[in-house]
Chain A
Amino acid sequence: MQVYLDNASTTKMSRAAIGAMLPFFEETYGNPSSLHSMGQRAKEALEEARAAVAACLGASEGEIYFTSGGSEADNQAILSASAIGARKGKKHIITTAFEHHAVLHTLAKLEKQGFEVTYLPVGSEGNITAAQVAAAIREETCLVTTMAANNEIGSVLPIAEIGAICREKKVLFHTDAVQAVGHIPMNVASMHIDMLSLSAHKFHGPKGVGVLYARKGIALSNLIEGGAQERGKRAGTENVAGAAGLAAALKEATDRLSENMKKVAALRDRLIKGLSEIPHSVLNGDKKSRLPGNVHFCFEGIEGESLLLLLDEYGIEASSGSACTSGSLDPSHVLLAIGHPHEIAHGSLRLTLSEYTTEEEIDRALAAVPEVVARLRNMSPIWRDKVSGKKPFLLK
């Protein structure tokens, strides 16, 4: 039995999303730009998908741009806001130290072009406050970009408060909501969000399609030049099937949001409670303001990659912020940002649930994780040094 607990990486597609996509492969495969009736039917489907997405987010149709995914949406939002800022001589951007690399690497590019970026430090509880944002805003700030929820440790940021501050100070506010949309309530109107990125495959939609929401009146810069698709802001023949799948998945996730949140959070809490019993471990991320499906621990004395490989042997498919999994030798910037030393950051485990996760699967994980941790600790020289008192324990 395979237990899939890596839903923050990607999700299984829902039946509704698959069903919504199928007509556009063999039946209605026309190009939405074509004038014949099949092309026009594809165009209608695309616009229906756009309307459905807009309704789920509290936006209007003209504010929804389909992209290739969350990363593209993040890039376009930040580069657009920076271009608007530069035209006014405003070249300061505020973000957080634990953003996704789609945001961090885009900002690094802007820093090379003369922008100044403030990286708000993340507290040991794994979150930032709206007051931190307010204190960092300056006359020349052109953009605040903070994620809605962290992809590794699951902290949910105070987006409505940050949005209100940005609106009051007349600074553009973008949120990378890739981990949040479809999992917690997100409404661009009530949260005063100017731009938002989302990705379909995080909520049981297809891979390779996402959305950039940009509030009416915000001049977007193109990343891709070409035809006049997406109102001239994103060239290339539209991914009609992808858009239909995204919309169907988002509609389903939105319709069932409170029911799913309750169910998934209950499983999450059971998993957290069980794993907390492993000695010398710590739950990372905000304990209260947390994604319903996120469980993230560090275990002292072991390394994350071997933990994942061994869990896979037990049929548990998990993830980690571990150095080794990413091909880089550095531990997760998120875990360093919340103040863990390298040694602890190396021993991380992320288990992420979805509404398809069952009680039985949680039982399996609860049985496997302590066993695997013990097996690895038994062969770890630093664990032996700690147990024998030669070195101090860093976690309780």
Chain B
Amino acid sequence: MALYSDKVMDHFRNPRNVGVIEDANGVGEVGNAKCGDIMKIYLKIEDDIIKDVKFETFGCGSAIASSSMATELIKGKPLSSALELTNKAVAEALDGLPAYKMHCSVLAEEAIKRAIADYYKRAGIPYDEAAFREFECCHDGE
């Protein structure tokens, strides 16, 4: 069996939504270079709808594919449904990830949540900070 599913390879080869949104109103970055993956999500939110989303990722194939899939899953969706996106849903949409790569899907979930929290902060919208769990690095700290 190949390391990755066809879907992972497709999203890795042809990542959707790569790039930067210059006038993003929510930006989230997770991971660190020491761990070998960093994911950055840019959101353009209007009327509680994710009008546009872009990502940049430094990382392995599954990190790039997870970012790509996660952006596809939230694009055009209301914030409430983007907040419900789980890493499991990202992995499932990719037809699975190897066990030791599951943290890549966690990164994608966390990056989106962090970008939404950033939007709330910028917009002065109160939110439940406890619901935005902190990402734990794959290593023992940065």
Please report A residues at the B interface, Cβ cutoff 8 Å.
301-306, 309-310, 313, 322-324, 327-331, 341-343, 346, 378-384
Contact = CB atoms under 8 A, between A and B. Distances in A.
B58 A313 contact: no
Interface string B26-70: 000100011111111000000000000001111111011000000
B15 interface: yes
A383 B9 CA distance: 23
A83 to B, nearest CB: 36
Residue with the highest number of chain A CB atoms closer than 10 Å, among B19, B33, B39, B61 = B33
8 contacts: A306-B12, A309-B61, A331-B36, A341-B34, A342-B36, A381-B58, A382-B33, A383-B58
Contact of B139 (A301, A329, A378): A329
Contacts of A303: 36-37, 58-60, 63
Contacts of A343: 33-34
B58 A301 contact: yes
B57 A380 contact: yes
Contacts of B79: none
Contacts of A341: 34
Contacts of A384: 20, 56
A199 to B, nearest CB: 25
A287 to B, nearest CB: 26
A329 B136 CA distance: 14
Residue with the highest number of chain B CB atoms closer than 10 Å, among A301, A322, A346 = A346
B interface bracket (residues with beta carbon within 8 Å of A): 20 to 34
Interface in B55-95: 55-61, 63-64
B24 interface: no
A329 B138 contact: yes
A315 B66 CA distance: 24
A306 B60 contact: yes
Contact of A382 (B20, B38, B55): B38
A302 B12 CA distance: 14
Contacts of A327: 100
Interface of B: 9, 12-13, 15, 18-20, 29, 33-40, 55-61, 63-64, 100-101, 103, 138-139
Given A303-B58, A306-B61, A343-B33, A381 B38 contact: yes
Contact of A381 (B13, B29, B61): B29
A342 B34 CA distance: 5
B38 A324 contact: no
Contacts of A342: 33-36
A341 B64 CA distance: 22
Contacts of A331: 36
Contacts of B63: 303, 306
Contacts of B103: 329
Nearest to B4: A309
Contacts of A301: 58
A298 to B, nearest CB: 13
A381 B60 contact: no
Residue with the highest number of chain A CB atoms closer than 10 Å, among B12, B38, B60 = B60
Contacts of B12: 306, 309-310
A378 B12 CA distance: 14
A36 B57 CA distance: 66
B64 A379 contact: yes
B138 A302 contact: no
B8 to A, nearest CB: 10
A302 B61 contact: no
Given A306-B61, A379-B15, A379-B18, A324 B36 contact: yes
Q: Which 3 residue pairs spanning A and B have beta carbons closest together?
A: A343-B33, A305-B60, A324-B60
A306 B64 contact: yes
